[in-house]
C-alpha cells in the first residue's frame, strides 16, 4: 500500500518546491522508490527535480484520439504511452500530466491522470502529487485517496481562507484524505499572531512554517533545481523537520 502525499494551495505559495523537497527527503531517508506526479497542467516539477520530461499524459490523451495501432485496445495503448512518458531516475520516477492540445475542458485529461496514478501507484511505497493551484482539481477529483495533504499558504489572511475552502471542499466531495495540514511558506519574521489566530478560528492545524530563504531565491533566479539546495538551506532544513513529524 502506497503512502500518498499531495501538495495543494493557491498560486505562488511554493507548492512545487515543497513537493520537490519532499521527494528528496524520501530518497535521502531510504523511503523509496518514489513516484512523483506532476498533476499541474503547467508542468514544472521536473525542473525542481532536475530531470527532463519528453512526453505527458495530456499528449497521450491527444494520441488516443487519433489512430490506435491495429491489434491494440485503447487501454493497452494508453498503458504503453504512460510507460513511455515515465521519467526514470535514481530512486524516483516522474510522470507529468501536462496539458491537452487546444482549448477546452481538462476533464478527459484529468480522468486519464487519475487512471495513470491508480495504475502506477501500486509499484511505489511513496507517492508525491504536486497539484495545480486552487481547488478545481479537487472538484474534478484528480486528487483522491490521499494519506497526507499539505495545503500551502503565504503569510496572509487570504491564504488561510483559501486553505479553509480547500479543506471544506474536500469534505463536501467526500474525498478520502486522511490528514490535512496548513503549511506556511516564505515567512520573513515568523508567523503573525493574527494569521495564526485565523487558522485556529477556522480549525486548520498548522504543520509548520518555512522561512524565506535567499539561497532558494538564488537557485530559482538561476534556474537551478531547488531540490538540490545544500543542506544549510533554511527552507530545506525547516521542510525536513516538518516531514519528519508527518511522514511515516
The pLDDT value recorded for residue 108 is 57
Quick: pLDDT tens for 8-56: 888 889 999 999 999 999 999 999 999 999 987 777 899 999 999 888 8
Q: Nearest to residue 96, comparing CAs of 137, 60, 150?
A: 60
Range of the domain at 208: 3-246
The pLDDT value recorded for residue 141 is 47
Quick: pLDDT tens for 100-123: 555 545 555 566 667 777 778 888
| 96 phi/psi in degrees, rounded to 5 | -115, 135
The pLDDT value recorded for residue 106 is 53
Quick: pLDDT tens for 139-181: 444 556 789 999 999 999 999 999 999 888 888 887 888 999 9
Task: Output the nine-digit C-alpha cell for 204.
Answer: 486548520
- Residue 222: CA atoms inside 13 Å, Cβ hemisphere, count? 12
**Average pLDDT, integer, range 199-210:** 96
The pLDDT value recorded for residue 100 is 52
- pLDDT-derived band at 219, boundaries 50, 70, 90: very high
Q: Do 178 and 146 form a contact (C-beta atoms < 8 A)? A: yes
Q: Do 27 and 248 form a contact (C-beta atoms < 8 A)? A: no
CA–CA gap between residue 199 and residue 217 (Å, rounded): 27
CATH number of domain containing 182: 3.40.50.300
Q: Do 110 and 137 form a contact (C-beta atoms < 8 A)? A: yes
Tell me: pLDDT of 85 over 70: yes
- State how far the alpha carbon of 151 is from the alpha carbons of 20, 88, 166, 173, 238, in Å: 15, 27, 8, 17, 16
DSSP string, the chain: --EEEEEEESTTS-HHHHHHHHHHHHHHTT---EEEEEE-SS--HHHHHT------HHHHHHHHTSPPPTT--HHHHHHHHHHHH-EE-SSEEEEE----SSSS-SHHHHHHHHHHHHHHHTT-SEEEEEEPSBSHHHHTT-S-SEEEEEEEE-SSHHHHHHHHHHHHHHHHTT--EEEEEEEEEEESSS--HHHHHHHHHTT--EEEEEE--HHHHHHHHHT--GGG--TT-HHHHHHHHHHHHH--
Quick: pLDDT tens for 51-77: 998 888 777 666 666 666 777 777 777
Q: Domain count for the chain, please give it.
A: 1
Does the pTM surpass 0.85? The reply is yes
Distance of CA 80 to the CA centre of its chain: 24
Q: Nearest to residue 146, comparing CAs of 15, 247, 32, 16?
A: 247
Tell me: pLDDT of 186 over 60: yes
- pLDDT-derived band at 209, boundaries 50, 70, 90: very high
The pLDDT value recorded for residue 139 is 44
Amino acid at each position: 500500500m502506497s503512502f500518498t502525499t499531495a501538495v495543494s494551495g493557491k498560486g505562488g505559495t511554493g507548492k512545487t518546491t515543497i513537493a520537490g523537497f519532499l521527494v528528496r527527503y524520501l530518497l535521502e531517508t531510504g523511503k523509496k522508490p518514489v513516484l512523483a506526479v506532476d498533476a499541474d497542467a503547467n508542468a514544472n516539477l521536473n525542473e525542481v527535480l532536475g530531470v527532463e520530461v519528453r512526453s505527458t499524459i495530456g499528449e497521450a490523451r491527444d494520441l488516443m484520439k487519433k489512430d490506435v495501432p491495429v491489434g491494440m485496445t485503447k487501454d493497452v495503448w494508453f498503458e504503453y504511452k504512460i510507460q513511455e512518458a515515465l521519467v526514470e531516475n535514481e530512486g524516483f520516477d516522474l510522470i507529468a500530466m501536462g496539458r491537452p492540445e487546444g482549448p477546452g475542458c481538462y476533464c478527459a485529461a484529468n480522468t486519464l491522470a487519475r487512471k495513470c496514478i491508480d495504475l502506477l501507484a501500486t509499484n511505489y511505497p511513496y507517492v508525491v502529487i504536486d497539484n495545480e493551484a486552487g481547488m478545481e482539481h479537487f472538484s474534478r477529483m484528480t486528487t483522491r485517496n490521499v494519506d497526507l495533504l499539505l495545503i500551502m499558504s503565504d503569510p496572509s489572511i487570504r491564504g488561510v481562507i483559501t486553505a479553509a475552502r480547500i479543506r471544506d471542499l474536500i469534505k463536501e466531495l467526500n474525498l478520502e484524505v486522511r490528514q490535512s495540514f496548513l503549511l506556511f511558506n516564505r515567512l520573513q519574521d515568523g508567523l503573525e499572531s493574527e494569521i495564526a489566530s485565523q487558522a485556529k478560528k477556522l480549525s486548520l492545524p498548522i504543520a509548520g512554517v518555512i522561512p524565506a530563504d535567499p539561497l532558494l531565491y538564488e537557485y530559482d533566479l538561476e534556474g537551478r533545481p531547488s531540490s538540490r539546495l545544500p543542506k544549510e538551506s533554511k527552507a530545506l532544513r525547516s521542510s525536513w523537520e516538518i516531514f519528519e513529524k508527518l511522514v511515516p
